[in-house]
Amino acid sequence: MTDPDSVTALKRDPNAARVIGELWSLDPDSAASVALWVELRRSVDTGSVVIARHPGGTKIGFYFCTPYAPTYEARRPVVTGDTALARGQCFPFERAAASATPTS
């Protein structure tokens, strides 16, 4: 779920590793979290959703909450989970545990 371009740096950050651990330990339904991730990945595979980029073409980067996923953009209207997204809308994949402390 973590932004592939940021995995190496986040693995070196002990706070990030701790918060990701908290995410999974506090997730009341990890199967639902994984199912939502699979649904999002299907949208990426079909081209309905892409990793969002700045106007110059560089990736926007990962969202600041766990699981530090890339920022995505809907290329066409799509529903992910129970959220309807409009064409061009940027969004994160966030599964932050309510009591987890964010990294600095």
pTM above 0.85, yes or no: no
Please give the Cα distance from 6 to 39 (Å, whole number). 22
Strand, helix or coil for residue 59: strand
Q: What is the pLDDT tens value at each position of the chain, 104 positions in all?
A: 888 888 888 888 888 888 888 888 888 888 988 999 899 999 999 999 999 999 999 999 888 877 888 999 999 999 988 889 999 999 988 876 554 444 44
Q: What is the 3-state secondary structure (H, E, C) of 12-28?
A: CCHHHHHHHHHHHHHCC
- In angstroms, what CA-CA distances link 99 with 23, 24, 34, 66, 68? 9, 12, 20, 12, 16
